[in-house]
Amino acid sequence: MWLSLALAIFVALPLAGVLLLILGLHGPRLDTLPRCARCLFETTGLAATAPCPECGADLSLSKAITIGRRRKRPLAIGLGTLLLLVPIAIFATAAAIGVNNPANNPSKPNWLLQLETHRSDARLAAAAITELTARIGTPAMSSDVAKSLLNRALAVQADQSTVWLPAWGDLVVACRQAGLCDPESYTNFVKQGVSIRTLPIHKVMAGHPFERSLEVKAPRLGTSAVPIRIDVSVTLGGIQHP
Ligand SMILES: [Zn+2]
């Protein structure tokens, strides 16, 4: 049933549209006078080598002269155009719905998903990034494409003015696992993604143990746990203690 409906929409409708357009543009002849094919100026009585007095066309060329004018049929032209536009509109709508459905992401090409990572809808952008991440290190994605995505993720992460999608962090981790992210870039990624704050202390008593708490947050990393190493050194009385 769906097949016959699709055939009707995408074959029969455009075909009928084309036929109606031909019929509309090729109406009945209004006269049988020889006319310039370009501007329909009547050429009766003109010398064989003379150009068209109206538009200057070279009338000695073949098919430069047509016989008679035809009356166009506006209704047939309008209906034919409509029948041609219906399948295009249906196709465009279906394509838009398909693009907006993340469930279709596995069947989308890399270039389309890369475009979708720029979408303002965070849910759709993150879904596209997640699908691209799944392709890293597989034959579905070249290492060049993966590296360009990695660079984009790091650039987005570095730009504090942009909203961070944790899916970008997962992409960086996947690149590292696939051996595409050099250690320096990865260290940079962790440094950029982590915020460390020392919590204030009010009083230190001489002879008492000195405690200082660190608050570690990872606002711009991925969704998975990332091991980090924090080296702390304390300077007391001008002497640095590692
Ligand atoms: Zn002419």
Whether 1 has a pLDDT exceeding 70, the answer reads: no
Is the domain of 191 the same as that of 119?
yes
Is the domain of 43 the same as that of 90?
yes
Note the pLDDT of residue 196.
Answer: 84
Residues within 5 A (CB) of ion ligand 1: 36, 38-39, 41, 52, 54-55, 57
CA 73 – ligand 1 centroid, Å: 23
Whether 180 has a pLDDT exceeding 90, the answer reads: yes
pTM for this prediction: 0.61
Number of domains in the chain: 2
In a domain, 208, yes or no: no
Is the domain of 133 the same as that of 158?
yes
DSSP 38: T
- State the Cα angle at 84 between 83 and 88, rounded to 5°: 115
Is the domain of 93 the same as that of 114?
no
Is the domain of 75 the same as that of 140?
no
> Domain range spanning residue 135?
108-196
Measured CA to CA in angstroms, residue 219 lies from 73, 191, 200 at distances of 66, 11, 21
Burial 123-136 (b: 16+ CB within 10 A, else e): ebbbbbbbbbbbbb
- Which residues are bridge partners to 236 per DSSP? 239
Note the pLDDT of residue 43.
Answer: 92
CA 28 – ligand 1 centroid, Å: 21
Instruction: Report percent pLDDT > 90 for the chain.
Output: 60
Is the domain of 87 the same as that of 159?
no
Is the domain of 119 the same as that of 153?
yes
Is the domain of 87 the same as that of 123?
no
CA 60 – ligand 1 centroid, Å: 12
Q: Which of 149, 101, 92 is nearest to 121 (CA)?
A: 101
What is the rounded CA–CA span in Å between residue 31 and residue 154?
A: 73
Q: Tell me what the mean pLDDT of segment 30-58 comes to.
A: 91
In a domain, 116, yes or no: yes
